[in-house]
């Protein structure tokens, strides 16, 4: 469950694969860091007069270090996810974010875990909600490579997986 929670801000966006962190999409790195910062700080965030949450860039930078390590550089720009607009305010170094329930597309489910020294290889299933709002079995799988000491791993790469769910999924 620890890895599923850790990967959620990235996996829920259905990221394109990248073999090296320097090849990560700038939009993916920014958006996933914002989602982690929102999750981490949700109860502490102030709102503006329009009811949007105010998320300081300093919190997004902390999330970036947690997810990707200290070598990631974020490009702060306004964007939208599922018609939820995330407005960047360069002067105040923050984002104005609408209060929304589920922004992401998928829920990660770790089906395989291998640790070798400081490298963790995870096979992650992507569960999508069905019409009734229930989480269906994974519809696709990706392999996540994490590096770092136990408890402080960061994402190094996401690559396609050839895993097929012929066996029962691991429940964590």
Pairing of strands 107-116, 119-127: antiparallel
Render pLDDT for 12-52 as a digit per residue (tens, 0 to 9): 999 999 999 999 999 999 999 999 999 999 889 999 999 99
The yes-or-no verdict on residue 159 having pLDDT over 80 is: yes
The yes-or-no verdict on residue 171 having pLDDT over 50 is: no
> What is the arithmetic mean of pLDDT over 164-171?
56
Contacts of 27 (CB under 8 A, 6+ apart): 79
Helix axes 26-41, 2-11, angle to 10 degrees: 130
> What is the arithmetic mean of pLDDT over 162-169?
67
């Amino acid at each position: 469950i620890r890895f599923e929670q850790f990967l959620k801000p990235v996996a829920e966006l259905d990221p394109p694969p990248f073999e090296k962190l320097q090849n990560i999409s700038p939009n993916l790195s920014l958006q996933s860091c914002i989602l982690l910062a929102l999750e981490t700080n949700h109860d502490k965030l102030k709102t503006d007069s329009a009811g949007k949450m105010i998320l300081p860039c300093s919190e997004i930078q902390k999330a970036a270090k947690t997810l990707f390590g200290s070598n990631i550089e974020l490009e702060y720009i306004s964007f939208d996810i599922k018609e939820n607009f995330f407005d960047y305010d360069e002067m105040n170094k923050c984002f104005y974010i609408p209060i929304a329930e589920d922004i992401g597309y998928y829920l990660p489910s770790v089906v395989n875990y291998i640790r070798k020294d400081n490298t963790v290889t995870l096979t992650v299933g992507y569960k999508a909600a069905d019409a009734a709002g229930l989480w269906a079995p994974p519809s696709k799988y990706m392999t996540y490579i994490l590096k770092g000491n136990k408890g402080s791993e960061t994402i190094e790469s996401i690559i396609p997986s050839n895993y097929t769910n012929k066996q029962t999924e691991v429940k964590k």
